[in-house]
């Protein structure tokens, strides 16, 4: 008989919705500042574009301290929920196994996740600057679309907000999944069963993976279009989760 760490097969034991909302709210503040930087400039005046790019890149550099604190808050939020979940799910396990779970080396994982989150937050204004640059070149190459391209440049804050939301939805889930994997590997778990949220929004690729076993060292193809391999919760906007298999 296979023993797994879960109580309800159709429900992810680590609740991350609150963390997603809080992280998304913080990241949208960056998008608002991106819009505020661009808004004073005259639409269609391409001579102002280098200044916009310079200001956006300077803003990205200034963000590091705030980004570190914001990412740390999200990581601690998810880590505490992950730890509490494992405590509840492992209460019927042997004392030795519980101690191994409690002392899992999650610190290294947390440091790596923090560095990645800071880079992602700082990438928001930098990507906006790159977008402005690309649009400017397009305007130079096709002067007939100059007014249309100028409007697109002024929409950079809106575009950044959309990107911020995707980051929040993806990265909170990925953080929870990565911490689960770290604790599972610390007790020599052989793998997991892929579980979807079992609703109409589940993408077809993941519906095919639902209920199947995968080893931690061999993630399945989570997106057939790109061929990307990933564990549940570790690909963009994925709400799936790993039902961990315990070692014998």
- Render each residue's pLDDT in the chain as its tens digit; 248 residues: 455 666 555 566 667 889 999 999 999 999 999 999 999 988 777 788 889 999 999 999 999 999 999 999 999 999 988 888 877 766 766 777 777 777 777 888 999 999 999 999 999 999 999 999 998 888 778 777 778 888 899 999 999 999 999 999 999 999 999 999 998 998 889 999 999 988 888 999 999 999 999 999 999 999 999 999 999 999 988 999 999 998 76
Buried b (16+ CB within 10 A) or exposed e, 52-89: bbebbbebbeebeeebbebbeebbebbbebbbebbeeb
DSSP conformation class of 247? P
> Is-contact 244 184, C-beta < 8 A?
yes
Give exposure, 162-188, as e/b (b: 16+ Cβ within 10 Å).
ebbbebbbbbbbbbbbbbbbbbbeebe
Contact 38, 32 (CB under 8 A): no
pTM confidence score: 0.86
d(CA 48, CA 136): 10
Q: How many CB atoms lie within 10 A of CB 96?
A: 9
* Measured CA distances, 183 to 83, 136, 159 (Å): 9, 48, 37
User: For residue 177, what pLDDT is reported?
Assistant: 94
* CA–CA dist 116, 174 (Å, integer): 11
Closest CA relative to residue 238, chosen from 175, 173, 185: 173
- Count other Cβ atoms within 10 Å, centred on residue 129: 23
pLDDT at 4: 66
Phi-psi region of 46 (alpha: psi -120 to 50; beta: other; left: phi over 0): alpha
Give counts: helices (H), strands (E), the chain. Answer: 8, 5
State the pLDDT at residue 1. Answer: 41
């Amino acid at each position: 008989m296979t023993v797994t760490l879960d109580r309800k097969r159709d429900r992810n034991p680590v609740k991350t919705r609150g963390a997603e909302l809080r992280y998304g709210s913080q990241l949208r503040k960056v998008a608002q500042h991106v819009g505020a930087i661009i808004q004073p400039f005259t639409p269609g005046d391409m001579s102002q574009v280098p200044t916009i790019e310079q200001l956006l890149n300077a803003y990205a550099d200034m963000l590091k301290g705030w980004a570190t604190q914001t990412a740390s808050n999200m990581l601690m939020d998810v880590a505490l929920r992950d730890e509490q979940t494992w405590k509840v799910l492992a209460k019927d396990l042997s004392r030795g196994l519980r101690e191994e779970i409690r002392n899992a080396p999650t610190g290294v994982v947390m440091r790596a996740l923090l560095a990645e989150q800071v880079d992602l937050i700082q990438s928001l204004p930098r990507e906006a600057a790159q977008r402005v640059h690309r649009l400017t070149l397009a305007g130079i190459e096709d002067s007939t679309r100059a007014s249309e391209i100028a409007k697109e440049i002024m929409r950079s804050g809106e575009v950044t907000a959309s990107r911020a939301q995707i980051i929040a939805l993806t990265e909170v889930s990925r953080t929870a999944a990565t911490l689960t994997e770290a604790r599972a590997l610390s007790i020599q778990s052989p793998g997991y069963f892929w579980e979807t949220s079992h609703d109409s929004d589940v993408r077809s690729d993941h519906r095919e993976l639902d209920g199947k076993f995968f080893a931690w060292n061999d993630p399945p193809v989570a997106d057939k279009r790109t061929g990307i391999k990933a564990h549940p919760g570790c690909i963009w906007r994925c709400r799936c989760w790993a039902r961990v298999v315990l070692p014998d």
